[in-house]
A and B are shown apart, each in its own frame.
Chain A
Amino acid sequence: MTYYAFAGALEQGFAYGFLVLGVYLTFRVLDFPDLTVDGSLPLGAAVSAVAITAGYNPFLSLLFALIAGFLAGTITGILNTKLGILHLLASILTMIALYSINLRVMGRPNMTLLGKPTILEPLTNAGIGMFNAAPLLFGILSILALLLLFWLLNTAFGLAMQATGVNRQMITSQGVNTDRVIILTVGLSNGLAAVSGALLCQSQGAADVNMGVGTIVAGLASVIVGETLFGCRTIGRALFAALLGSLIYRLTIALALSLKLGRFSFTPSDLNLLTALLVVGALTLPKLRRKVLNR
């Protein structure tokens, strides 16, 4: 693997880190399988691209993306809690609706940011190369997000959020409106996914309506790989594992793509197969390890 491929993988790992933290929130904390992210990630990219093109500060565009993603997530939450639609189905409905919304937001299927300012500009202006600037900045931002989530999960609301995922009867009996907790948490998760989309759009220089395909699978793969390798005994550790899982996932893919066995090499079209294999591996590894240790 070349240095560029390595730096690129880190950049993607950190950019997708927001998404992975969001998926951790819904999938693990809330026990709410949420496919909305397949739509909210490109929504974030679209909103960011449109905002930057309209002359807004690139950092401000991240905030717009966060808000747009949050609203998208609350729709899924409302469909599930207030209208009683099964969580999985509610999220799929929002996801397909977002496809149309994203086309409306951009007014076309894709949008380039060529020659437009991005959040990386201050760093590249300071003389840091593009290949180092993106992983550095995205790394700092995603670690900030991790710390914020760690704080949030330890607040009274955060405890209620954790309890909602585990024992809804108990937390309802303590006077918490679980509907509200679910709506807000799914909202937050999709806000994070949208920030991922915005970061990717700014580092790749384009937003595309199809860039969200398979987002949830990548997110789950990262969460599961992280858990398997680094454990999830405490909340802090689980959050950390999720972010590291995102890096490992992107590095593994970069590694696979750079692999050459004789005349055979992987192409980007093999990525879905590789992802599936990686998740199967991560899911079965703990069982295998236990079997071997018990012998």
Chain B
Amino acid sequence: MIEITDLVKIFHQGSVNEVLALSGISLQVRKGDFITVIGSNGAGKSTLLNCLAGSHPIDSGHIVIDEQDVSRWPEYKRATQISRVFQDPLLGTCGPLSIEQNLALANRRGKYHGLKRGVQRSDRELFRKQLSQLNLGLEKRLKDSVGLLSGGQRQALTLLMATLVKPKILLLDEHTAALDPKTALQVLKLTQQLIDDQHLTALMVTHNMRQALQLGNRLIMLHGGRIILDVSGNEKGAMTVEDLLEQFYKVRGEAFVSDRMLLV
């Protein structure tokens, strides 16, 4: 269980460019929740994920994972609990290293990276098995450098790496946005499959409202650094894109301005 209480993040505090990116977000993520996160540009979706992962220090509030307050933990330490997939397919993997070396690093997420051999012989069997579920033929290319893979393949590999050691929460930040539609769909299917198989808890930011409704058991909408909608279960299942837009007008009382939100 992850408890987020009164999370506040201010960028450029005290300057003329001051931005209140998160203004007191509170959220209880239950074990096994698959939450989709939507909101217009600048709503604070990515900031929320970055604050959870520890890339941005928070200004106030608390993040508690399984009764452990991680609010002040540095990013590398939070990686013991949290794994993530970025929008940029190049960000989640290391290009010059081989597929097996990347997986070996991920297989030690949160453990000590010491002087043992990086890729153990016994690891390879596990890596092949894991890679074969991607159906990309990567299990035959363990020694190829990751730089040779396409964006979609790299994103699929990043997903696998993020779940190789089961995280307490998986953060997905528009991880299909940089891919072509067909590849995006494949990666999305894989995401669903990995989350189902391992009963993962996940938070997925997306710009696609239909996707946000189709996937997961819970949906939150952010605006101006606040959660303005939080629906789950049957209530979410019954919702349509129009309902979402209507909800948005009702709560905010202003026009939905982002064009990208309408690209469903």
A residues in contact (CB < 8 Å) with B: 152, 154-160, 162-163, 166-167, 169-178
Residue contact A160 to B86, C-beta cutoff 8 Å: no
Known contacts A173-B79, A173-B84, A175-B110: does B104 contact A156 (CB below 8 Å)?
yes
Query: Which residues from B are CB-within-8-Å of A167?
Result: 90-91, 93-95
- For B103-114 the 0/1 string (1 means CB < 8 A from A) is 011101111111
Bound-state Cα–Cα, A199 to B140, Å: 46
* CB-defined A-B contacts under 8 Å, sample of 22: A154-B118, A156-B104, A156-B105, A156-B112, A156-B114, A156-B115, A157-B113, A159-B97, A159-B101, A159-B105, A162-B94, A163-B97, A169-B86, A170-B92, A170-B93, A170-B94, A173-B75, A173-B84, A174-B108, A175-B76, A176-B76, A176-B113
Residue contact A163 to B105, C-beta cutoff 8 Å: yes
Nearest-neighbour CB distance to chain A for B66, whole angstroms, equals 17
Known contacts A155-B118, A169-B91, A170-B91: does B76 contact A160 (CB below 8 Å)?
no
Residue contact A162 to B97, C-beta cutoff 8 Å: yes
Nearest-neighbour CB distance to chain B for A180, whole angstroms, equals 9
Query: Which residues from B are CB-within-8-Å of A156?
Result: 104-105, 108, 112-118
Query: Which residues from B are CB-within-8-Å of A177?
Result: 74, 76-77
Query: Which residues from B are CB-within-8-Å of A152?
Result: 115
Query: Which residues from B are CB-within-8-Å of A172?
Result: 75-76, 79
Bound-state Cα–Cα, A178 to B113, Å: 11
Nearest-neighbour CB distance to chain B for A183, whole angstroms, equals 14
Cβ of B131 within 8 Å of any chain A Cβ, yes or no, is no
Cβ of B80 within 8 Å of any chain A Cβ, yes or no, is yes
Query: Which residues from A are CB-within-8-Å of B116?
Result: 155-156
Query: Which residues from A are CB-within-8-Å of B114?
Result: 155-157
Residue contact B97 to A175, C-beta cutoff 8 Å: no
Residue contact B115 to A155, C-beta cutoff 8 Å: yes
Cβ of B176 within 8 Å of any chain A Cβ, yes or no, is no
Query: Which residues from B are CB-within-8-Å of A170?
Result: 91-94
Query: Which residues from A are CB-within-8-Å of B112?
Result: 156
Residue contact A163 to B94, C-beta cutoff 8 Å: yes
Query: Which residues from A are CB-within-8-Å of B79?
Result: 172-175
| CB nearest neighbor in B for A169 | B91
Nearest-neighbour CB distance to chain B for A169, whole angstroms, equals 5
Residue contact A158 to B118, C-beta cutoff 8 Å: yes
Bound-state Cα–Cα, A162 to B111, Å: 17
Chain A residues touching B, majority SS: helix
Please report the number of residue pairs spanning A and B whose Cβ atoms sit closer than 8 angstroms.
Answer: 86
| CB nearest neighbor in A for B110 | A175
Query: Which residues from B are CB-within-8-Å of A175?
Result: 76-77, 79-80, 108-111
| Interface residues of B, count at CB 8 A | 36
Residue contact A166 to B95, C-beta cutoff 8 Å: yes
| CB nearest neighbor in B for A178 | B76
Residue contact B115 to A160, C-beta cutoff 8 Å: no
Residue contact B105 to A160, C-beta cutoff 8 Å: yes
Bound-state Cα–Cα, A173 to B53, Å: 8
Query: Which residues from A are CB-within-8-Å of B109?
Result: 173-175
* Most chain B beta-carbon neighbours within 10 Å: one of A152, A167, A173, A177: A173
Residue contact A154 to B94, C-beta cutoff 8 Å: no
| CB nearest neighbor in B for A233 | B145
Query: Which residues from A are CB-within-8-Å of B55?
Result: 169
Residue contact B93 to A174, C-beta cutoff 8 Å: no
Bound-state Cα–Cα, A154 to B93, Å: 17
Bound-state Cα–Cα, A154 to B53, Å: 28
Bound-state Cα–Cα, A143 to B119, Å: 24
Nearest-neighbour CB distance to chain A for B175, whole angstroms, equals 13
Residue contact A166 to B113, C-beta cutoff 8 Å: no
Q: Could you list 20 further interchain pairs (A-B, Cβ under 8 angstroms) beyond the known A167-B91, A169-B86?
A: A154-B117, A155-B115, A156-B113, A156-B115, A159-B104, A159-B113, A160-B113, A163-B94, A166-B95, A167-B95, A170-B94, A172-B75, A173-B75, A173-B83, A174-B79, A174-B109, A174-B161, A175-B80, A176-B105, A177-B74
| CB nearest neighbor in A for B78 | A175
| CB nearest neighbor in B for A161 | B113
Cβ of B96 within 8 Å of any chain A Cβ, yes or no, is yes
CB contacts under 8 Å to A, within B50-85, are 53, 55, 74-77, 79-80, 83-84
Residue contact A174 to B106, C-beta cutoff 8 Å: yes
Bound-state Cα–Cα, A176 to B74, Å: 11
Query: Which residues from A are CB-within-8-Å of B101?
Result: 159
Bound-state Cα–Cα, A178 to B76, Å: 8
- For B223-234 the 0/1 string (1 means CB < 8 A from A) is 000000000000
* Cβ-closest 9 pairs across A and B: A175-B79, A175-B110, A159-B118, A156-B113, A163-B94, A160-B113, A177-B76, A155-B115, A174-B109
Bound-state Cα–Cα, A220 to B116, Å: 30
Residue contact A157 to B115, C-beta cutoff 8 Å: yes
Bound-state Cα–Cα, A159 to B55, Å: 22
Bound-state Cα–Cα, A158 to B101, Å: 10
Query: Which residues from A are CB-within-8-Å of B106?
Result: 174
Query: Which residues from B are CB-within-8-Å of A178?
Result: 76
Query: Which residues from A are CB-within-8-Å of B80?
Result: 175
Bound-state Cα–Cα, A152 to B106, Å: 19
